[in-house]
Amino acid sequence: NPQCTSEVVRKGDKKRVMKKRVIKQVDKKKEGSPAPQNRTHTCECGKVFKKPSLLTLHMGCPKRYATPGALKKHQLLHTEERPFACEHCDRRYRSAYDLKVHIRIHSGERRHMCTICGKRFTQQCALVRHMRMHAGEKNYLCSICGKAFLSSGELRLHTRTHTGENPHTCKHCGKGFKVSCHLMVHLRSHTGERPYTCTQCPKSFTTSDSLRTHIYTHTGEKPHRCSECGKTFTQRGNMVNHMRRVHRPLNCTECGQSCIVLKIHQRTHAVDKPYQCDACGKCFGALATLVLHQRTHTGEKSHTSPRCNKQYISKSQLTSHMWTHTG
Protein backbone atom coordinates (compact mmCIF):
# COMPACT_ATOMS: atom_id res chain seq x y z
CA ASN A 1 0.00 0.00 0.00
CA PRO A 2 1.33 3.44 -0.84
CA GLN A 3 2.50 5.49 2.12
CA CYS A 4 1.55 8.92 0.77
CA THR A 5 -2.06 10.02 0.35
CA SER A 6 -3.37 12.22 -2.43
CA GLU A 7 -4.26 15.78 -1.52
CA VAL A 8 -7.06 17.36 -3.61
CA VAL A 9 -5.94 20.89 -4.31
CA ARG A 10 -8.60 21.58 -6.96
CA LYS A 11 -12.04 20.10 -7.42
CA GLY A 12 -13.14 17.79 -10.23
CA ASP A 13 -11.14 17.52 -13.43
CA LYS A 14 -8.68 20.24 -12.39
CA LYS A 15 -6.87 17.68 -10.21
CA ARG A 16 -6.30 15.50 -13.28
CA VAL A 17 -4.96 18.51 -15.18
CA MET A 18 -2.51 19.26 -12.33
CA LYS A 19 -1.22 15.69 -12.46
CA LYS A 20 -0.70 15.92 -16.21
CA ARG A 21 1.33 19.09 -15.72
CA VAL A 22 3.57 17.31 -13.21
CA ILE A 23 4.16 14.47 -15.69
CA LYS A 24 4.94 16.97 -18.42
CA GLN A 25 7.52 18.71 -16.18
CA VAL A 26 9.28 15.51 -15.19
CA ASP A 27 9.32 13.85 -18.60
CA LYS A 28 10.48 16.91 -20.55
CA LYS A 29 13.98 16.24 -21.90
CA LYS A 30 16.69 18.58 -23.07
CA GLU A 31 17.38 18.25 -26.80
CA GLY A 32 20.14 15.78 -27.56
CA SER A 33 20.11 14.16 -24.09
CA PRO A 34 20.15 10.33 -24.23
CA ALA A 35 17.22 8.48 -22.72
CA PRO A 36 18.09 6.29 -19.72
CA GLN A 37 18.30 2.62 -20.57
CA ASN A 38 16.48 -0.11 -18.65
CA ARG A 39 15.85 2.07 -15.57
CA THR A 40 12.87 1.08 -13.47
CA HIS A 41 11.31 2.56 -10.37
CA THR A 42 9.68 0.17 -7.91
CA CYS A 43 7.08 0.96 -5.27
CA GLU A 44 7.18 -0.75 -1.86
CA CYS A 45 4.06 -2.66 -2.93
CA GLY A 46 6.09 -4.30 -5.73
CA LYS A 47 4.64 -2.48 -8.72
CA VAL A 48 7.28 -1.35 -11.24
CA PHE A 49 7.28 1.86 -13.31
CA LYS A 50 9.50 3.04 -16.15
CA LYS A 51 9.33 6.70 -15.13
CA PRO A 52 9.74 8.26 -11.67
CA SER A 53 6.81 10.57 -12.40
CA LEU A 54 4.48 7.59 -12.78
CA LEU A 55 5.75 6.14 -9.50
CA THR A 56 5.07 9.47 -7.78
CA LEU A 57 1.50 9.54 -9.09
CA HIS A 58 1.01 5.91 -8.06
CA MET A 59 2.13 6.72 -4.52
CA GLY A 60 -0.22 9.67 -4.42
CA CYS A 61 2.41 12.11 -3.13
CA PRO A 62 0.80 15.59 -2.93
CA LYS A 63 3.99 17.66 -2.99
CA ARG A 64 4.43 20.19 -5.83
CA TYR A 65 7.53 22.03 -7.01
CA ALA A 66 8.23 25.12 -9.10
CA THR A 67 10.95 23.58 -11.30
CA PRO A 68 11.54 20.15 -12.88
CA GLY A 69 14.92 19.96 -11.13
CA ALA A 70 13.40 20.39 -7.68
CA LEU A 71 10.72 17.81 -8.49
CA LYS A 72 13.30 15.26 -9.69
CA LYS A 73 15.35 15.74 -6.53
CA HIS A 74 12.24 15.14 -4.41
CA GLN A 75 11.38 11.99 -6.38
CA LEU A 76 14.70 10.48 -5.34
CA LEU A 77 13.21 10.29 -1.84
CA HIS A 78 10.64 7.83 -3.19
CA THR A 79 13.12 5.76 -5.20
CA GLU A 80 15.98 6.02 -2.63
CA GLU A 81 18.29 6.68 -5.56
CA ARG A 82 21.59 8.43 -4.67
CA PRO A 83 23.42 9.08 -7.95
CA PHE A 84 26.14 11.41 -6.59
CA ALA A 85 29.06 9.41 -5.14
CA CYS A 86 31.96 10.75 -3.08
CA GLU A 87 35.33 9.85 -4.62
CA HIS A 88 36.99 9.82 -1.18
CA CYS A 89 34.63 7.44 0.66
CA ASP A 90 31.57 5.26 0.08
CA ARG A 91 28.93 7.90 0.87
CA ARG A 92 26.33 8.73 -1.81
CA TYR A 93 23.92 11.69 -2.07
CA ARG A 94 20.73 12.70 -3.82
CA SER A 95 22.03 16.02 -5.16
CA ALA A 96 25.27 17.62 -6.32
CA TYR A 97 24.92 20.26 -3.59
CA ASP A 98 24.68 17.64 -0.82
CA LEU A 99 27.82 15.99 -2.21
CA LYS A 100 29.61 19.37 -2.33
CA VAL A 101 28.82 20.00 1.35
CA HIS A 102 30.01 16.48 2.26
CA ILE A 103 33.34 16.94 0.46
CA ARG A 104 34.13 19.80 2.86
CA ILE A 105 34.54 17.11 5.53
CA HIS A 106 37.43 15.61 3.56
CA SER A 107 39.00 18.97 2.76
CA GLY A 108 38.65 20.22 6.35
CA GLU A 109 36.74 23.30 5.16
CA ARG A 110 34.34 24.65 7.79
CA ARG A 111 33.23 28.09 6.65
CA HIS A 112 30.43 28.67 9.20
CA MET A 113 31.81 29.85 12.57
CA CYS A 114 30.05 30.37 15.90
CA THR A 115 30.63 33.96 17.04
CA ILE A 116 30.37 32.93 20.71
CA CYS A 117 32.80 30.01 21.05
CA GLY A 118 34.58 29.91 17.68
CA LYS A 119 33.49 26.38 16.74
CA ARG A 120 33.22 25.86 12.98
CA PHE A 121 30.74 23.88 10.88
CA THR A 122 30.44 22.66 7.30
CA GLN A 123 26.76 23.64 7.06
CA GLN A 124 24.78 26.71 8.06
CA CYS A 125 22.01 24.53 9.53
CA ALA A 126 24.53 22.83 11.83
CA LEU A 127 25.67 26.24 13.07
CA VAL A 128 22.06 27.31 13.72
CA ARG A 129 21.47 24.12 15.72
CA HIS A 130 24.68 24.75 17.68
CA MET A 131 23.64 28.35 18.47
CA ARG A 132 20.52 27.01 20.17
CA MET A 133 22.84 25.46 22.74
CA HIS A 134 24.18 28.89 23.71
CA ALA A 135 20.65 30.32 23.83
CA GLY A 136 19.44 27.49 26.06
CA GLU A 137 16.93 26.27 23.46
CA LYS A 138 16.73 22.57 24.29
CA ASN A 139 13.04 21.85 23.89
CA TYR A 140 13.14 18.09 23.20
CA LEU A 141 12.83 16.37 26.58
CA CYS A 142 13.50 12.74 27.40
CA SER A 143 10.41 11.35 29.12
CA ILE A 144 12.56 8.89 31.08
CA CYS A 145 15.27 11.07 32.64
CA GLY A 146 14.25 14.66 31.79
CA LYS A 147 17.42 15.44 29.82
CA ALA A 148 16.85 18.01 27.06
CA PHE A 149 18.15 18.12 23.49
CA LEU A 150 18.40 20.54 20.58
CA SER A 151 16.62 18.31 18.05
CA SER A 152 14.27 15.34 17.82
CA GLY A 153 17.08 13.32 16.22
CA GLU A 154 19.36 13.84 19.24
CA LEU A 155 16.51 12.85 21.56
CA ARG A 156 15.84 9.70 19.54
CA LEU A 157 19.50 8.65 19.77
CA HIS A 158 19.58 9.42 23.51
CA THR A 159 16.47 7.29 24.12
CA ARG A 160 18.43 4.28 22.86
CA THR A 161 20.76 4.65 25.86
CA HIS A 162 17.75 3.78 28.04
CA THR A 163 16.34 1.02 25.84
CA GLY A 164 19.73 -0.49 24.99
CA GLU A 165 18.75 -0.55 21.33
CA ASN A 166 21.68 -0.93 18.91
CA PRO A 167 20.01 -1.41 15.51
CA HIS A 168 23.17 -1.17 13.40
CA THR A 169 25.25 -4.38 13.61
CA CYS A 170 28.74 -5.10 12.30
CA LYS A 171 28.70 -8.07 9.90
CA HIS A 172 32.27 -8.99 10.88
CA CYS A 173 32.13 -9.12 14.68
CA GLY A 174 28.47 -8.60 15.61
CA LYS A 175 29.04 -5.40 17.58
CA GLY A 176 25.99 -3.15 17.65
CA PHE A 177 25.76 0.63 17.28
CA LYS A 178 23.06 3.18 17.93
CA VAL A 179 23.70 5.16 14.71
CA SER A 180 24.81 4.05 11.24
CA CYS A 181 27.72 6.52 11.04
CA HIS A 182 29.33 4.93 14.12
CA LEU A 183 29.03 1.53 12.46
CA MET A 184 30.63 2.93 9.30
CA VAL A 185 33.63 4.20 11.29
CA HIS A 186 33.89 0.87 13.13
CA LEU A 187 33.91 -1.10 9.86
CA ARG A 188 37.10 0.71 8.90
CA SER A 189 38.84 -1.05 11.79
CA HIS A 190 38.19 -4.30 9.89
CA THR A 191 38.92 -3.04 6.37
CA GLY A 192 41.83 -0.73 7.23
CA GLU A 193 40.20 2.04 5.18
CA ARG A 194 41.33 5.60 5.96
CA PRO A 195 39.37 7.85 3.59
CA TYR A 196 40.35 11.21 5.10
CA THR A 197 43.79 12.25 3.82
CA CYS A 198 45.76 15.32 4.90
CA THR A 199 46.54 17.64 1.98
CA GLN A 200 49.81 18.77 3.59
CA CYS A 201 51.34 15.38 4.44
CA PRO A 202 50.74 11.69 3.58
CA LYS A 203 48.84 10.87 6.78
CA SER A 204 45.27 9.57 6.51
CA PHE A 205 42.52 9.05 9.09
CA THR A 206 39.35 7.07 9.69
CA THR A 207 37.20 10.09 10.67
CA SER A 208 36.88 13.71 9.61
CA ASP A 209 37.29 14.84 13.23
CA SER A 210 40.67 13.08 13.45
CA LEU A 211 41.76 14.77 10.23
CA ARG A 212 40.63 18.20 11.43
CA THR A 213 42.52 17.80 14.72
CA HIS A 214 45.61 16.70 12.80
CA ILE A 215 45.44 19.73 10.49
CA TYR A 216 45.85 21.94 13.57
CA THR A 217 49.39 20.52 13.94
CA HIS A 218 50.22 22.13 10.60
CA THR A 219 48.39 25.43 11.16
CA GLY A 220 49.15 25.81 14.87
CA GLU A 221 45.49 26.67 15.43
CA LYS A 222 43.98 26.06 18.87
CA PRO A 223 40.31 26.99 18.50
CA HIS A 224 39.06 25.88 21.93
CA ARG A 225 39.67 28.49 24.65
CA CYS A 226 39.14 28.03 28.39
CA SER A 227 36.63 30.67 29.50
CA GLU A 228 38.21 30.85 32.98
CA CYS A 229 41.94 31.32 32.27
CA GLY A 230 42.17 31.78 28.49
CA LYS A 231 44.32 28.70 27.80
CA THR A 232 43.76 27.30 24.29
CA PHE A 233 43.51 23.71 23.04
CA THR A 234 43.33 21.90 19.70
CA GLN A 235 40.53 19.61 20.93
CA ARG A 236 37.40 20.49 22.87
CA GLY A 237 37.76 17.33 24.97
CA ASN A 238 41.17 18.49 26.20
CA MET A 239 39.68 21.85 27.14
CA VAL A 240 36.83 20.23 29.11
CA ASN A 241 39.28 17.94 30.93
CA HIS A 242 41.42 20.99 31.77
CA MET A 243 38.42 22.83 33.21
CA ARG A 244 37.39 19.83 35.30
CA ARG A 245 40.91 19.29 36.61
CA VAL A 246 42.04 22.89 37.16
CA HIS A 247 38.91 24.97 37.71
CA ARG A 248 36.36 22.32 38.77
CA PRO A 249 32.60 22.95 38.45
CA LEU A 250 31.31 26.37 39.54
CA ASN A 251 27.85 27.20 40.85
CA CYS A 252 25.68 29.75 39.05
CA THR A 253 24.71 32.54 41.46
CA GLU A 254 21.30 32.95 39.78
CA CYS A 255 19.99 29.39 39.68
CA GLY A 256 22.50 27.41 41.74
CA GLN A 257 23.26 25.01 38.89
CA SER A 258 26.76 23.53 38.86
CA CYS A 259 28.51 24.07 35.51
CA ILE A 260 31.84 23.21 33.94
CA VAL A 261 31.64 26.29 31.68
CA LEU A 262 29.91 28.84 33.91
CA LYS A 263 30.17 31.82 31.55
CA ILE A 264 28.37 30.00 28.75
CA HIS A 265 25.65 28.79 31.14
CA GLN A 266 25.07 32.32 32.47
CA ARG A 267 24.07 33.47 28.98
CA THR A 268 20.89 31.42 29.35
CA HIS A 269 19.74 33.91 31.98
CA ALA A 270 20.05 36.83 29.55
CA VAL A 271 17.55 35.51 26.96
CA ASP A 272 13.73 35.69 27.02
CA LYS A 273 12.10 33.47 29.63
CA PRO A 274 8.86 32.10 28.16
CA TYR A 275 8.60 29.01 30.41
CA GLN A 276 6.79 29.70 33.70
CA CYS A 277 6.47 27.41 36.71
CA ASP A 278 2.82 26.78 37.62
CA ALA A 279 3.70 26.31 41.29
CA CYS A 280 5.62 29.52 42.05
CA GLY A 281 5.51 31.68 38.89
CA LYS A 282 9.27 31.69 38.29
CA CYS A 283 10.22 31.98 34.59
CA PHE A 284 12.98 30.23 32.67
CA GLY A 285 14.68 30.59 29.29
CA ALA A 286 14.70 26.87 28.52
CA LEU A 287 12.09 24.16 29.00
CA ALA A 288 14.71 21.80 30.43
CA THR A 289 15.58 24.32 33.15
CA LEU A 290 11.90 24.59 34.07
CA VAL A 291 11.64 20.79 34.37
CA LEU A 292 14.64 20.71 36.73
CA HIS A 293 13.16 23.56 38.78
CA GLN A 294 9.80 21.78 39.10
CA ARG A 295 11.59 18.90 40.82
CA THR A 296 12.32 21.26 43.72
CA HIS A 297 8.54 21.34 44.26
CA THR A 298 7.89 17.63 43.71
CA GLY A 299 10.99 16.43 45.57
CA GLU A 300 11.94 14.12 42.69
CA LYS A 301 15.63 13.15 42.75
CA SER A 302 16.45 10.85 39.85
CA HIS A 303 20.28 11.02 39.93
CA THR A 304 21.97 8.74 42.51
CA SER A 305 25.62 8.68 43.56
CA PRO A 306 27.12 5.22 42.90
CA ARG A 307 29.51 5.73 45.84
CA CYS A 308 27.20 6.74 48.70
CA ASN A 309 23.64 6.49 47.25
CA LYS A 310 22.92 10.19 47.82
CA GLN A 311 20.29 11.50 45.42
CA TYR A 312 20.16 14.75 43.44
CA ILE A 313 17.70 16.64 41.29
CA SER A 314 20.03 17.11 38.29
CA LYS A 315 22.98 15.36 36.72
CA SER A 316 25.10 18.50 37.17
CA GLN A 317 24.47 18.45 40.95
CA LEU A 318 25.50 14.79 41.04
CA THR A 319 28.67 15.60 39.06
CA SER A 320 29.54 18.36 41.52
CA HIS A 321 28.94 15.95 44.43
CA MET A 322 31.24 13.30 42.92
CA TRP A 323 34.18 15.69 43.41
CA THR A 324 33.81 15.13 47.16
CA HIS A 325 34.72 11.48 46.62
CA THR A 326 37.84 12.27 44.58
CA GLY A 327 39.30 14.50 47.31
Is 173's pLDDT higher than 80? yes
| DSSP letter string, 94-125 | SSHHHHHHHHHHHHT---EE-TTT--EESSHH
- Give the chain's domains with CATH numbers: 1-23+39-81 (no CATH), 271-326 (3.30.160.60)
How sure is the predictor about 6, in pLDDT bands with cuts at 50, 70 and 90? very low
* Model confidence pLDDT, tens digit, residues 31-41: 444 444 556 67
Taking the whole predicted model, whether its pTM rises above 0.95 is answered as no
Percent of the chain residues topping a pLDDT of 70: 65
Is 7's pLDDT higher than 70? no
Separation CA 227–CA 266 (nearest Å): 12
Separation CA 192–CA 13 (nearest Å): 60
Closest CA to 145 of 164, 129, 125, 161: 161
* Model confidence pLDDT, tens digit, residues 290-324: 777 777 787 777 777 777 878 777 766 776 676 66
